């Protein structure tokens, strides 16, 4: 093994002297040394490299990827520049030296980040993520695959500049020789699910497998913690999986609807992230689980993050803590996490002990250089010091933290007769509910009353009783829903936390409700476009429609017919779904017959109305696609309610664009109901709730409409 002071020869005959090893530069394969050329370092192998490795390095040296940062003296990729020779044999290679900084793991851990550079902000995390995506897109453009993606192989500076290390482990395709030199290693938690199903040794990899690992890295950076996107609170039966790879293999992304892992309480809710980023994670971890080609490319990640970093409209500064940068129009998630979790993610420099006036937010500036580090100018109180640049930005809707606690049942023993009586009563109640569920299941399998269709030439008031179906101007069937009352939510022992407490709701006016979800044909006729991802038949439900766009559909259709269409309220939706049958399990027992869901959908939507209708003639109330409701998402109360509209009524039927929505309600998380083609049974019940930012679009979210005052004209 060579030592400091030894001379190596690089291609062309130039000699270079080895100096001291870099701190942390000793690895299983070799040692990285400083050399007499200050901008370079040398990796010297412990053992002579094999002929295959020499051929691989030779191919890499001859075909480097683009690296626009090299002109400024910084290399995003520590690419081999020349073979290192000693005594006539190849012993290693030279590569660019990374600037002063640390491994990416130091940036991901709130404690080490605070110790290293307390002035760092969330926009710096965005910038680092953008720069990593930039490096990956240049690697992929040349036909290379990183393979072993992990934070330890990424170097980052205080200015969010990054360098990808360990490039000799990349997968290299030598097109001239027709040879692939595979990457033979992988890191748990960053390995795509399709690679976990067999041996990876010698297996050729694809850029979409790098894309999975890149999604994990970006998730950790933007969550500002080292928590994996598949780690959280296990709510399934039995013991929780004991490894990240097992979670990945089963597709239990914590923010996936129906996942058996609930989100980590130390990660801010999805509504606090930029919507474009949320959609890319959905493609990476949800769609990409079954279809790896659906994962966003490094180029797509770069474009999305570059737009956020260089925009003046996406981010904002917290009014209480100037070093808290977050999505505009969203309550500061860092303050919320500090309050609920006791963790200060971005503390900023220590304040002066003297009282100071509130910080004034300066006017934002557009960043001309896309890689210029963007950090906010210092607030009044920190002492003068080198600053890390940043720039304020925009927003989606604020979403309350997802409930993450699970009920824990313990045996109290037979210490008192009072306890025994309580347990006996609970057992009797359980049997009563179970028998009621069986009876209801039997009745729900019977067909509803025969539908009577009323043509659009007659007024909606012609529909007067259950079974009456009025047909509107675009051929949409709307069924009569009578007024009445029901128990909303799930009883104790059933459902998720946000489905409790169960409470009585009274609905005091009848409605006409679409018998099916709005189809792609109907949406195209009204809105002159079809945004759906899953296409084929025009009778498939429309999806990838935001809450705002669903509201706009209602407004446009209403203007066309001079009627008052809208989305159903959450209470109206559940009441119509139950159709007078308060089954305690929310309908899980008849999903196989009545719904398209995760176990029978073949990973796609299906034509509406192809499963049996419920007792009031409504199809696909459970499964196929989640359905937007009008309400803002909020907690239930134990009190009786009359025609509830959620915690904040959404009274504006028209929708303006994202930049200027006038209603506060239009920025808050809204409710979707019913489950989808992708979900497990527990997410497809009559009581299951999903809260989403109103401008999000997913291929498992659609809607149906209701018509108010059907008796008026």
State the number of CA atoms in the 13 A half-sphere of 314 facing the CB: 20
Strands 40-45 and 89-96: antiparallel
Cα-flanking dihedrals φ and ψ of residue 635, to 5°?
-80, 150
Torsion of CA 265, 266, 271, 275, to 10 degrees: -130
Max Cα distance, the chain (Å)? 97
Task: Name 9's bridge partners.
Answer: 15, 85
Q: In whole angstroms, what is the distance from residue 80 CA to residue 441 CA?
A: 67
Alpha-helix runs per DSSP H in 612-703? none
Q: In whole angstroms, what is the distance from residue 536 CA to residue 521 CA?
A: 11
Q: Are 626 and 590 in contact (CB under 8 A)?
A: no
Q: At 43, which helix (H) or strand (E)?
A: strand 40-45
Catalytic status, residue 134: no
Closest CA to 708 of 471, 513, 418: 513
Query: DSSP string covering 289-329, please?
Result: HH-GGGSPPHHHHHHHHHHHHT-SSSEEE-SS-TT-EEETT
Cα-flanking dihedrals φ and ψ of residue 59, to 5°?
-65, -40
Closest CA to 236 of 225, 220, 221, 252: 252
Q: In whole angstroms, what is the distance from residue 673 CA to residue 570 CA?
A: 8
Q: In whole angstroms, what is the distance from residue 489 CA to residue 481 CA?
A: 19
Cα-flanking dihedrals φ and ψ of residue 84, to 5°?
-100, 130
As a three-state string, the secondary structure of 467-510 is CEEEECCCCCEEEEECCEEEEECCCCCCCCHHHCCCEEEEECCC
Of 34, 67, 134, 148, the catalytic one is 148
Q: Are 222 and 125 in contact (CB under 8 A)?
A: yes
Q: In whole angstroms, what is the distance from residue 227 CA to residue 264 CA?
A: 8
Tokens coding 221: 């950076």
Tokens coding 442: 């039997």
Active-site residues, by number, are 148
């Amino acid at each position: 093994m060579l030592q400091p002071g030894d001379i190596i020869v690089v291609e062309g005959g130039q000699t270079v002297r080895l100096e001291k090893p870099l701190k942390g530069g000793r690895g299983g394969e070799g040692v990285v040394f400083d050399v007499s050329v200050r901008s370079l370092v040398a990796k010297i192998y412990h053992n002579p490299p094999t002929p295959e490795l020499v051929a691989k390095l030779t191919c890499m040296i001859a075909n480097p990827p683009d690296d626009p940062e090299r002109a400024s003296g910084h290399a995003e990729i520590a690419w081999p520049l020349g073979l290192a020779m000693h005594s006539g044999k190849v012993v290693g290679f030279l590569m660019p030296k990374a600037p002063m900084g640390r491994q990416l793991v130091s940036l991901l851990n709130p404690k080490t980040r605070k110790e290293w550079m307390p002035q760092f902000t969330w926009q710096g995390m965005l910038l680092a993520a953008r720069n990593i995506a930039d490096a990956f897109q240049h690697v992929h453009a040349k036909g290379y695959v990183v393979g072993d993606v992990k934070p330890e192989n990424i170097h980052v500076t205080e200015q969010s500049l990054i360098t990808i290390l360990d490039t000799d482990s990349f997968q290299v395709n030598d097109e001239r020789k027709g040879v692939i030199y595979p990457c033979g290693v992988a890191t748990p938690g960053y390995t795509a699910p399709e690679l976990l199903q067999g041996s990876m040794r010698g297996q050729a990899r694809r850029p979409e497998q790098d894309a999975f690992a890149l999604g994990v890295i970006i998730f950790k950076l933007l969550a500002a913690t080292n928590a994996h996107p598949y780690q959280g609170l296990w709510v399934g039966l039995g013991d929780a999986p004991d490894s990240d790879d097992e979670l990945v293999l089963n597709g239990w992304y914590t923010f996936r609807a129906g996942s058996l892992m609930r989100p980590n309480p130390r990660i801010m809710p999805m509504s606090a992230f930029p919507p474009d980023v949320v959609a890319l994670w959905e493609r990476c971890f949800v769609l990409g689980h079954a279809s790896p080609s659906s994962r966003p490319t490094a180029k797509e990640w770069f474009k999305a993050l570059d737009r956020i970093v260089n925009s003046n409209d996406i981010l904002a500064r917290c009014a209480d803590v100037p070093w808290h940068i977050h999505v505009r129009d969203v309550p500061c998630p860092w303050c919320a996490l500090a309050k609920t979790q006791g963790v200060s993610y971005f503390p900023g420099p220590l304040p002066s002990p003297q009282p100071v006036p509130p910080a004034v937010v300066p006017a934002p500036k557009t960043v001309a250089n896309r890689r210029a580090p963007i950090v906010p100018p210092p607030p009044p109180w920190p002492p003068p010091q080198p600053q890390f640049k940043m720039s304020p930005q925009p927003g989606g809707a604020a979403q309350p933290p997802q409930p993450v606690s699970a009920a824990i049942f313990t045996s109290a023993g037979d210490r008192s007769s009072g306890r025994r009586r309580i347990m006996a009563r609970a057992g009797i109640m359980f049997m009563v509910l179970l028998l009621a569920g069986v009876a209801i299941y039997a009745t729900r399998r019977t067909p509803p009353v025969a539908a009577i269709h009323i043509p659009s030439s007659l007024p909606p008031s012609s529909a007067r009783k259950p079974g009456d179906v009025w047909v509107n101007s675009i051929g949409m069937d709307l069924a009569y829903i009578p007024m009445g009352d029901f128990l909303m939510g799930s009883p104790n022992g059933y459902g998720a936390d946000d489905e409790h407490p169960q409470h009585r709701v009274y609905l005091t006016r009848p409605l006409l409700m679409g018998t099916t979800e709005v189809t792609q044909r109907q949406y195209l006729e009204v809105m002159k476009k079809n945004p759906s991802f899953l296409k084929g038949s025009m009778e498939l439900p429309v999806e990838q429609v935001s809450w705002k766009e669903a509201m706009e559909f209602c407004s446009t259709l209403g203007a066309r017919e001079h009627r008052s269409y809208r989305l159903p309220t959450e209470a109206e939706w559940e009441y119509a779904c139950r159709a007078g049958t308060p089954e305690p399990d929310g309908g899980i027992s008849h999903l196989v017959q009545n719904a398209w869901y995760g176990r029978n959908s073949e990973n796609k939507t299906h034509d509406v109305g192809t499963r049996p209708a419920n007792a009031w003639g409504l199809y696909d109330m459970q499964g196929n696609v989640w359905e937007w409701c009008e309400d803002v998402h909020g907690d239930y109360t134990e009190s009786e309610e009359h025609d509830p509209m959620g915690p904040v009524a959404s009274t504006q039927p028209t929708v303006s664009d994202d930049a200027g929505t006038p209603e506060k309600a239009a920025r808050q998380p809204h409710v979707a109901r019913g489950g989808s083609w992708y979900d497990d049974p527990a997410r497809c019940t009559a009581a299951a709730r999903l809260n989403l930012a109103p401008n999000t679009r997913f291929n498992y979210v659609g809607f149906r409409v209701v018509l108010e005052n059907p008796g008026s004209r």
